[in-house]
């Protein structure tokens, strides 16, 4: 008896064709459950996201939570979903969310299942707000349309970190046979254990983010116009509500992209990080309506890209680091000028990840608050923020260069909805001083020192080549020696978070946690440059991030840019060796 006729038909067809290669792809290995949960294409077999793998994953997660929380049946879990769907396999985020809810309810666990699509940050918000044991968001964020994902939050409202991923993974292995009635998701509709948090969260979240609204009068009066795109995802309604909560006129929504569409028909990749290609329709609408600023969310609305029309008529798309600098400056300034927070500045913190710009460090040094860097990914920043908050500290802001911003302590993860409306208030305030975002960014750099960044990646589908490339860097001039220079640039320090080596520490041991399963080496150069090379957890990429930090007063930006370009060219040539390693460049 087949439970899902569509995936059953796909597999049956392959058996008829005797297609062993494809069957091996579908059934050869199970999706790996990591700290980011699951992320894979929807389709048949245990290597894909489908009804069965969602049931198995949730059964394992449920057992793991039972082991960790004696009050799981009192507190419960929250489950949200985006608008993704896959016709050929019958999979959709909503269907997966309902199956997951059914699994928990069958074990007597209360489930707060959102009745409609929501932004990802609403799940961690609900975990914290209702003091639940855990949260699940079914989304693949900005991945290609065939993908889906299963993202997990712990009781502290942050994404899980190790060892929970291993524990859950093991529990999934031990609970593979679907429990009775696992497929019958209609059962949940009549269960007293099913709750819908949609109305409550839509009220409370927008009340909570208003604590970050400082210039209501300016917002009411401003004649600055904004364009917003949700790139066929979930963001439209929620950004409109956020603007309303801040007393801003609603942004113009890009009509072709405002409604959820799992086919993402107007973009090649639904990822605002890809820059201008995703924003083509936004530029056109902004020109038509005379808007100067574009706010773009990714499909699950946890990230934000911003573009501004320059005096020249050109559009500038801010990098994640540039917007991080602006928001960091703004949020600190608002705290300093308006805060009723009586905590001393020594109890104020900001965080960013090791591959993001160190601009917050420069601001913190000059202003007297604390800056900390964490490993890459919001799971680290969310968990660290919670630790600090539990010690009575104020964590004002955290960001990473991949356009993720945490502007509001009510959500311990990146949140593109609050970031969009806070950016709009900042722009409205600056307009009263006749300043654009670009001009203010320059002012921030003038005051705290220029921080120029450049990041890119190479695609490599062969794990052996990637391993070889990093082994080569660790044995550059003979065994166990790292490079002493890169072209004409002298290397002054090395931190290898794969092996745990750090040349700048007295005992040569890195302070940040290390992970043998992923590659990450950071080089510091004598000219003040820093470059990190790392592998991606979710894509076949070797990424690099480089930055040149100048002390305040050095304002020759063009010279700094030229120096950074030369450093990056040397990095590519000597450390990546794309020709020798047959690496494919990022296509612009």
**Residues 387 and 462 reside in one and the same domain:** no
Is 492 one of the annotated active-site residues of the chain? Answer: no
Flag whether 278 is in a domain: yes
**Residues 379 and 356 reside in one and the same domain:** yes
Sign of the C-alpha dihedral computed for residues 137, 142, 143 and 147 taken in this order: positive
Residue after which a domain boundary falls, among 404, 430, 448? 448
Contact present, 581 and 465 (Cβ < 8 Å):
yes
| Predicted pLDDT of residue 338 | 82
pTM here is: 0.94
**Residues 328 and 410 reside in one and the same domain:** yes
Flag whether 19 is in a domain: yes
CA-CA distance, 385 to 387, in Å (whole number)? Answer: 5
Residue after which a domain boundary falls, among 297, 316, 335? 316
| Predicted pLDDT of residue 553 | 79
CATH number at residue 89: 3.40.120.10
| Predicted pLDDT of residue 339 | 67
Look up tokens 């062969």; give the residue: 462
Flag whether 267 is in a domain: yes
**Residues 66 and 109 reside in one and the same domain:** yes
**Residues 10 and 134 reside in one and the same domain:** yes
What's the domain range around 342? 321-448
Burial 24-53 (b: 16+ CB within 10 A, else e): eebeeebbebbbbbbbbbbbbbebbbbbbb
**Residues 356 and 444 reside in one and the same domain:** yes
**Residues 61 and 187 reside in one and the same domain:** yes
CB atoms within 10 A of CB 98: 23
Residue after which a domain boundary falls, among 161, 195, 229? 195
Tens-digit pLDDT string for the chain (588 aa): 478 999 999 999 999 999 999 999 999 999 999 888 999 999 999 999 999 999 999 999 999 999 999 999 999 999 999 999 999 999 999 999 999 999 999 999 999 999 999 999 999 999 999 999 999 999 999 999 999 999 999 999 999 999 999 999 999 999 999 999 999 999 999 999 999 999 999 999 999 999 999 999 999 999 999 999 999 999 999 999 999 999 999 999 999 999 999 999 999 999 999 878 899 999 999 999 999 999 999 999 999 999 999 999 999 999 999 999 999 999 999 999 986 666 789 999 999 999 999 999 999 999 999 999 999 999 999 999 999 999 999 999 999 999 999 999 999 999 999 999 999 999 999 999 999 999 999 999 999 999 999 999 999 999 999 999 999 999 998 898 999 999 999 999 999 999 999 999 999 999 998 888 889 999 999 998 999 999 987 788 999 999 999 888 777 888 999 999 999 999 999 999 999 999 999 874
| Predicted pLDDT of residue 343 | 72
**Residues 188 and 247 reside in one and the same domain:** no
Contact present, 319 and 305 (Cβ < 8 Å):
no
Q: How many domains does the chain have?
A: 4
CATH number at residue 533: 3.30.310.50
Pairing between β-strand 315-317 and β-strand 304-309 as defined by DSSP bridges: antiparallel
Give every strand in the sheet of 404-406, ordered side by side.
370-374, 348-353, 394-400, 404-406
Q: C-alpha angle 196/199/203, rounded to 5°?
A: 140
| Predicted pLDDT of residue 166 | 95
**Residues 490 and 543 reside in one and the same domain:** yes
* 163 cis-preceded (ω within 30 degrees of 0): yes
Q: C-alpha angle 469/272/450, rounded to 5°?
A: 70
Pairing between β-strand 394-400 and β-strand 348-353 as defined by DSSP bridges: parallel
Flag whether 200 is in a domain: no
**Residues 366 and 441 reside in one and the same domain:** yes
Flag whether 133 is in a domain: yes
**Residues 455 and 440 reside in one and the same domain:** no
- Catalytic residue from among 92, 141, 352, 357: 141
CA-CA distance, 7 to 54, in Å (whole number)? Answer: 14
Flag whether 370 is in a domain: yes
**Residues 55 and 186 reside in one and the same domain:** yes
């Amino acid at each position: 008896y087949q439970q899902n006729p569509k995936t059953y038909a796909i597999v049956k067809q392959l058996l008829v064709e005797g297609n062993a290669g494809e069957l091996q792809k579908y059934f050869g290995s199970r999706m790996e459950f990591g700290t980011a949960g699951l992320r894979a294409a929807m389709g048949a077999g245990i290597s894909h996201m489908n009804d069965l793998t969602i049931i198995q994953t949730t059964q394992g997660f449920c057992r793991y939570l039972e082991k960790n929380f004696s009050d799981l049946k009192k507190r419960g879990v929250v489950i949200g979903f985006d608008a993704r769907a896959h016709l050929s396999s019958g999979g959709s985020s909503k269907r997966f969310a309902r199956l997951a809810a059914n699994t928990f309810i069958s074990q007597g666990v209360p489930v707060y299942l959102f009745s409609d699509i929501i932004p990802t940050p609403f799940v961690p918000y609900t975990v914290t707000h209702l003091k639940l044991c855990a949260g699940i968001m079914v989304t693949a964020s900005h991945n290609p349309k065939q993908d889906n994902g299963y993202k997990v939050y712990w009781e502290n409202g942050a994404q899980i970190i190790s060892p929970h991923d291993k524990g859950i993974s093991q529990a999934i292995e031990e609970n593979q046979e679907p429990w009775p009635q696992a497929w019958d998701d209609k059962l949940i509709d009549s269960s007293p254990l099913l709750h819908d948090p949609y109305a409550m969260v839509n009220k409370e979240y927008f009340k909570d983010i208003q604590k970050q609204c400082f210039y209501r009068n300016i917002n009411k009066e401003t004649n600055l116009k904004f364009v917003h795109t949700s790139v066929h995802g979930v963001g439209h309604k929620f950004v409109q509500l956020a603007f309303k909560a801040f007393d801003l006129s609603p942004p113009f929504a890009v009509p072709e992209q405002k409604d959820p569409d799992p086919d993402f028909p107007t973009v090649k990749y639904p990822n605002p990080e890809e820059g201008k290609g995703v924003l083509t329709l936004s530029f056109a609408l902004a020109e038509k309506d005379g808007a100067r600023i574009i706010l773009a969310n990714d499909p699950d609305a946890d990230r934000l890209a911003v573009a501004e029309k320059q005096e020249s008529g050109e559009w500038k798309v801010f990098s994640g680091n540039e917007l991080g600098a602006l928001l960091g400056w703004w949020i600190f300034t608002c705290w300093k000028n308006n805060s009723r927070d009586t905590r001393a500045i020594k109890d104020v913190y900001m965080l960013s990840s090791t591959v993001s710009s160190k601009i917050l460090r420069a601001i913190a040094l000059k202003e007297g608050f604390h800056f900390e860097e964490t490993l890459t990914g919001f799971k680290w920043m969310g968990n660290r923020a919670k630790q600090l908050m539990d010690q009575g500290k104020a964590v004002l802001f955290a960001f990473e260069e991949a356009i993720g911003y945490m502007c509001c302590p009510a959500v311990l993860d990146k949140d593109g909805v609050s970031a969009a409306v806070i950016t709009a208030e900042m722009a409205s305030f600056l307009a009263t001083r006749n300043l654009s975002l670009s001009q203010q960014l320059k002012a921030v750099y003038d005051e705290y020192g220029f921080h120029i960044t450049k990041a890119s990646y190479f695609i490599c589908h062969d794990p052996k080549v990637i391993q070889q490339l990093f082994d080569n860097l660790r044995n550059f001039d003979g065994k166990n020696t790292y490079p002493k220079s890169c072209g004409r640039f002298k290397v002054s320090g090395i931190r290898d978070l794969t092996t745990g080596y750090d040349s700048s520490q007295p005992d040569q041991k890195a302070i940040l946690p290390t992970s043998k399963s992923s590659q990450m080496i950071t080089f510091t150069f004598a000219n003040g440059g820093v470059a990190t090379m790392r592998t991606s957890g979710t894509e076949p990429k070797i990424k690099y991030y480089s930055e040149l930090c100048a002390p305040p007063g050095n304002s020759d930006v063009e010279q700094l840019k030229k120096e950074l370009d030369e450093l990056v060219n040397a990095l590519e040539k000597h450390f990546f060796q794309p020709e020798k390693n047959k690496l494919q460049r990022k296509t612009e």
